[in-house]
Structure 1
Amino acid sequence: MKVLIADDDPQLVRALRITLAAHGYDVIAAPDGAAAVAAAAKQNPDVVMLDLGMPRLDGLEVIAALRGWSDVPIIVVSGRTGSGDKVEALDAGADDYVTKPFQIDELLARLRALTRRAGASVGQPFVRFGDVDVDLSTKTVTRAGARVHLTPTEWRMLEFLARNPGSLVTRQALLKDLWGTDQVNDTGYLRLYVSQLRKKLERDPAHPVHLLTESGMGYRLVLDDDA
């Protein structure tokens, strides 16, 4: 699995290169945004990790450039912790966002989720988490073998999350998918439907382990092997 790391901090890049290589990744490094775009075009990485504050082209410009021709999974690794920076990066086309300093175990889990999603067969219609099975082809959900009834909106929300397992889905993306716009101000609708899904699909709705809220950003469906 080939990982492109775009960051102008040589010490961080060196540490990540050693760690990722020890876990079987082939690492390509780029010291600035322009080099990252060129390396992505030449090396065809399986996943891109990039910082936002880079010389020549910043992270957002790199994301925009890559999204012009590639669907490669992109994970932002940045010291910017504001929710506005995170939402901006995700809306620009990033698939996930990790803030510095980070735990390496968490970063590796995020990488596994992204590469699993990228490598999944388009024709694979099943998603499983806990005792829940989601059949995307027949639009059915079962829990412990029993059919679960979902409203049309609940199903569309679950389907959106299930097609992006392990990845952060922003509130704006969900609003646009569910109601055709990301300009809805009252995101209480999303909290309501997520709450209903948790009651139907989580073993302990008050302490969910699969349908997670990312504060200030959106939601994430965590499969068993992402936990």
Structure 2
Amino acid sequence: MNPERILIAEDDVRLAQLMREAFVRRGYEALLLHGGGEVVPAVWRLRPDLLVLDLMLPGADGFEILRHLRPRWTGPILILTARDGDFDQVSGLELGADDYIAKPVATPVLLARVRALLRRSRSGPREAELELGELRITPSAREVRAQGRLLSLSDSEYELLVFLAARAGEVVTREQLFRELRGIEYDGLDRSMDLRVSKLRARLREQLEGRAPIRTVHGRGYLFAVERPPR
């Protein structure tokens, strides 16, 4: 079996080399790029299993790269950057990134996030088809339809929707979401999952005429509430 291929787009040469060495020691194939203009052509040419993307690359920044890659390339994208503001996190996730880590980051944490993203991408959901209100979720095709109309969702949005929908009527805690979807424990402070839920809810509202089945349960978590579709 060929090793999984990770493409690292990072202009800090020393940091990029350290990441490459860490990935190779864990059995991955790791390739380096230092300029933003190289990333999109390299993704089409090399077809990596995962892209580690710095936002501040010379030639083309990470946001521009995300706009070019999504939605045509659906592989997992992990943003690793010194820009740790909420605006940058929201922008990165809304443009299609699957995870966001602020530098500096400990190597075990980076490896855990990468393993979680690759595991999700590699295995895919195994749930049976779900019909909830006006939504029909078909895991075998990774499709979500509303009254027969195909909805456009990124990989991370789809995974989150399936996780919540499979537990419809139950409150899902942040601890569950972090553990199952990101492979880490919730530290009580990280708001990235809240941002991801908000993004999914907004995307559903765009495509369901203002409706979204995901509810916030204050102090507890999130609830997928099944409602009858409008007549």
Q: Give the TM-score, by structure 2 length.
A: 0.63
Structure 2: segments with no counterpart, 5+ residues: 129-161, 184-191, 224-231
Secondary structure at the counterpart of residue 165 of structure 1? helix
- Code of the aligned partner of 1:51: D
* Corresponding position of 1:47: 50
* Corresponding position of 1:216: none
Cα separation, 2, equivalents of 1:105 and 1:2: 18
In the alignment, which of 180, 186, 202 is matched to residue 176 of structure 1? 202
Cα separation, 2, equivalents of 1:140 and 1:78: 33
In the alignment, which of 60, 63, 85 is matched to residue 60 of structure 1? 63
Structure 1: segments with no counterpart, 5+ residues: 127-135, 142-148, 198-227
- Code of the aligned partner of 2:169: L
Following TM superposition, by how much is the alpha carbon of 1:86 offset from its aligned partner in structure 2, in angstroms? Answer: 0.7
- Code of the aligned partner of 1:23: R
What percentage of residue pairs aligned between the two structures are identical? 30
Q: RMSD of aligned C-alpha atoms? A: 3.2
Cα separation, 1, equivalents of 2:23 and 2:79: 16
Following TM superposition, by how much is the alpha carbon of 1:191 offset from its aligned partner in structure 2, in angstroms? Answer: 4.8
* Corresponding position of 1:165: 181
C-alpha change, 1:196 and 1:58, in structure 2 (3 Å) is closer
Secondary structure at the counterpart of residue 108 of structure 1? helix
Q: Show CA shifts across 1:131-187 (max 9, x none).
A: xxxxx69x665xxxxxxx826xx58x99xx69x822854143243266558xx9xxx
Secondary structure at the counterpart of residue 5 of structure 1? strand
8 Å Cα contact 2:55/2:79 also seen in 1:
yes
In the alignment, which of 125, 140, 149 is matched to residue 127 of structure 2? 125
- Larger mean CA deviation between 104-113 and 169-178 belongs to 169-178
C-alpha change, 1:32 and 1:140, in structure 2 (3 Å) is closer
Q: Runs of 4+ in structure 1 displaced over 4 angstroms?
A: 177-181
Following TM superposition, by how much is the alpha carbon of 1:63 offset from its aligned partner in structure 2, in angstroms? Answer: 1.0
